[in-house]
Amino acid sequence: MPLKLTLRTISAISLALSHLPLAFGSSCDFSKRANTTKTEAETWGGITPTKDLVWHPCYAQVGTFECARFQVPLDYSDPDGRDAAIALIRKPATTKEGYRGPILFNPGGPGGSGVDLILALGDAFATILGSQFDIVSFDPRGIARSTPRGNHFDTDVERTLFAANTGPLPLIKDGVVTGIERIWAQSQLLGSLAASHDDGYLQHITTQNTATDMLRIVEAHGEEKIKFWGFSYGSVLGATFAALYPDKIERMVIDGVVDSPDYYATLWRTALIDSDKTLQLFFDNCAEAGPSQCPFYAPDPADIRRNLTALQNSLLVEPVIVKTDTFYGVVDYSIFSLQLLGALYSPFATFKPLAQALADLAAGNGTGLFSLSAEPVMYQCDCDEDAHAWASLTDGLTTVACNDGVEVSSSLQELQEFWNDLATVSPFADFMGTIRARCTNWPKNKKPFQGPFVGNTSHPLLVVSTTADPVTPLVSAQKMAAGFNGAVVLAIDAGGHPSVNAPSTCAQQHIRAYFQDGVLPEEGTVCDPIVRNPFLAPASATEGGAGGIGLVGRQEEDAKLLAAVKEVAGKAGSVFRAPSARRRGL
């Protein structure tokens, strides 16, 4: 029987340290459900890495998928040296006639698992984009099933103990930041652990190298140019590819767009510009919906904001204990912030449960808020290769972000000054501040890529954003589009991160037309979501299928598209989510 550790009540800091705010869900939930007869080690251990793509049937329990391990140089400046093995998955095209080749996906991160993305959403993406494409993704170098992995600990138990011992997040209240000393010290230790576990591979786990890996993957498919859809951090990967290989782009969608220069400068300062705008949507939508639809209702949005602030402040005085048959913990000020930010990623799916959780918390019941995005699970010592590989996802997140960024001062005073400045941008600044903290004692990357993010690409980019994205604001999409000739911004007039968390048939029709025919929307196009106020959506709007949105008179193809859009949005809370939701992979 696996050993259960009571340390599983993970503190807010361990969540924030272990999962970067732009990272989408990179848990092994989907692969474990898919692999009911084989372990992950059996699935991937039976595939020999090759320099050409050799596909093998895999995950047959959940669909028609094929897997491969693709051999690439660990160091592209030394092609005869060590190799890395990139784990790939594809849902093959089902239409032979008019076959269009692969579309590559990246789910974000840094460190998101592309294998999990396709297991969860490959069928829906195929419906949205067309049956003539292979739907392909991969675990980037250093991550999950790709090897060598970015491990900073010898065992998963060590990693969990480290996370559980980190203490509370620094407190940001009324623009004042206190308590960063412990996170600074823990980050110094983490950098030392990373260095001590490095046998020479660490510096090669970078976005620049992953971009080159993508080019090699495309060429191994027999293609000259890439077709790519990257979400969140995947927009950094896409922009990096476009900057390095502007003549190798057939189609490129970057979606939920990060300010790449800000990312590579290890600043993360622009990410949260619109977080309060997304939060305001919650207040406005709740007030509009009324008490029958929004349990946290007050007559005026300003009243709802005041009630939420008072509720969070009460946790400074008296945190709320949570205990169920399957998990336990404490809802404190920091957990409240983490879960609130997490809900802002996917208003379509989470505004209703957020309102109920807040109402319950006000009555002294914190269970709903504590498990808002995903029910917490007690840590289990599985003591096998699979568990350690998956837990190493958290190490890979830090590795990529810190290797990519410029060197960060190890000074505690400079970190305090940075955090103070970031707090003027958003009350959620502790999450982005945590990323920079983790890089304060990071082993130096000799040649970090720094752009510039400009180019005359062989086909113009399509840049997609919501108008109220909590972690990648619309202005970042506009900035990145301006660097690439002919790029067009497609906006969705809704909150959420990325576009699939703001379901819109209009937007997905534009994306499909772009991939199929190369057609860009007109400059300034803004799409409506399928539901403007999540509190007022009919029940069928948030479920699979095509009912409930007014399909009378639409063609069958449009009905299938709508069903796929809803399917992606319904699963997006599990696949694309904020750090507060991701309690399984610590």
Find which of 19-28, 444-453, 533-542 is predicted with most confidence, using mean pLDDT.
444-453
| Ranges 52-66, 163-177, 303-317: which has the least confidence | 163-177
pLDDT on residue 9: 28
Angle in degrees, CA 355, 356, 361, rounded to 5: 100
pLDDT higher than 90, residue 160: no
pLDDT higher than 80, residue 411: yes
What angle do the packed helices 556-575 and 505-517 form, to 10 degrees? 100
The torsion region of residue 218 among left (phi > 0), alpha (psi -120 to 50) and beta comes to: alpha
Give mean pLDDT, residues 279-296.
98
Give mean pLDDT, residues 130-137.
97
Give mean pLDDT, residues 231-236.
97
pLDDT tens across 350-397, in order? 999 999 999 999 999 999 998 886 655 556 666 555 554 555 556 888
pLDDT higher than 70, residue 333: yes
How many other C-beta atoms are found inside a 10 Å radius of the C-beta of residue 340? 24
pLDDT tens across 87-124, in order? 999 999 998 889 999 999 999 989 899 999 999 999 99
pLDDT tens across 487-509, in order? 999 999 999 999 999 999 999 99
Q: What three-state secondary structure class fits 4?
A: strand
- What is the rounded CA–CA span in Å between residue 371 and residue 377? 10
pLDDT on residue 17: 31
| Ranges 209-218, 437-446, 561-570: which has the least confidence | 561-570
Output the six-digit token pair for 499.
Answer: 């576009």
Output the six-digit token pair for 343.
Answer: 């809900």
pLDDT on residue 541: 52
Listed in sequence order, the residues at least 6 apart from 142 whose beta carbon sits closer than 8 Å to its beta carbon are 84, 148, 149, 150, 201, 205, 396, 399, 400
Listed in sequence order, the residues at least 6 apart from 61 whose beta carbon sits closer than 8 Å to its beta carbon are 34, 35, 36, 37
| Distance from the first to the final alpha carbon of the chain | 20
| Ranges 180-194, 235-249, 284-298: which has the least confidence | 180-194
How many helices (H) and strands (E) the chain has is answered by 21, 16
- What is the rounded CA–CA span in Å between residue 300 and residue 462? 38
pLDDT on residue 37: 53
Mean pLDDT over all residues of the chain?
A: 86
Burial 198-208 (b: 16+ CB within 10 A, else e): eeebbbbbbbb
Give which of 319, 312, 272 is closest to 11, Cα–Cα: 319
pLDDT on residue 157: 80
| Contact between residue 135 and residue 103 where contact means Cβ atoms under 8 Å apart | yes
pLDDT on residue 459: 99
pLDDT tens across 455-495, in order? 999 999 999 999 999 999 999 999 999 999 999 999 999 99
| Contact between residue 418 and residue 436 where contact means Cβ atoms under 8 Å apart | yes
How many other C-beta atoms are found inside a 10 Å radius of the C-beta of residue 179? 15
Give mean pLDDT, residues 21-43.
55
Which residue would you say has higher pLDDT here, 323 or 573? Answer: 323
pLDDT on residue 432: 85
Q: 176 burial class (0-12, 13-18, 19+ CB within 10 angstroms)? A: exposed
Output the six-digit token pair for 85.
Answer: 């093995």
Which residue would you say has higher pLDDT here, 573 or 222? Answer: 222
pLDDT on residue 176: 82
Q: DSSP for 285-338, please give it.
A: HHHHH-TTT-TT--SSHHHHHHHHHHHHHHHHHS-EEEE-SS-EEEE-HHHHHH
pLDDT higher than 90, residue 267: yes
Give mean pLDDT, residues 206-229.
98
Q: What three-state secondary structure class fits 155?
A: coil
Q: Domains along the chain?
A: 30-148+224-260+462-571 (3.40.50)
pLDDT on residue 106: 98
pLDDT tens across 70-92, in order? 999 999 999 999 999 999 999 99
Give the model's confidence band at 403: pLDDT under 50 very low, under 70 low, under 90 confident, else very high. Answer: very high
**pLDDT cut 70: percent of the chain above it:** 83
pLDDT on residue 385: 53
pLDDT on residue 574: 60
pLDDT on residue 96: 84
181 half-sphere exposure, CB direction, 13 A CA radius: 2
The overall longest dimension of the chain from CA atoms, in Å, is 68
Burial 306-339 (b: 16+ CB within 10 A, else e): ebbeebbeebeeebbebeeeebbbbbbbbbbbbb
Give mean pLDDT, residues 269-287.
97
Q: Chain centroid to CA 43: how far?
A: 25
Give the model's confidence band at 552: pLDDT under 50 very low, under 70 low, under 90 confident, else very high. Answer: very low
User: Do β-strands 101-106 and 133-139 pair in parallel, antiparallel, or remain unpaired?
Assistant: parallel
pLDDT higher than 60, residue 527: yes
pLDDT on residue 223: 97
pLDDT higher than 70, residue 579: no
pLDDT higher than 60, residue 583: no
pTM of the model: 0.90
| Contact between residue 449 and residue 404 where contact means Cβ atoms under 8 Å apart | yes
Burial 560-570 (b: 16+ CB within 10 A, else e): ebbbbbbbbbb
Rounded to the nearest 5°, which phi and psi values hold at 70?
Answer: -105, 125
Can you list the alpha helix ranges (DSSP code H) found in 98-180?
114-129, 156-164
Q: 356 burial class (0-12, 13-18, 19+ CB within 10 angstroms)? A: middle
Burial 87-112 (b: 16+ CB within 10 A, else e): bbbbbbbeeeeeebbbbbbbbbbbbb
Adjacent-strand bridge partners of 320: 331
DSSP 511: H
pLDDT on residue 444: 87
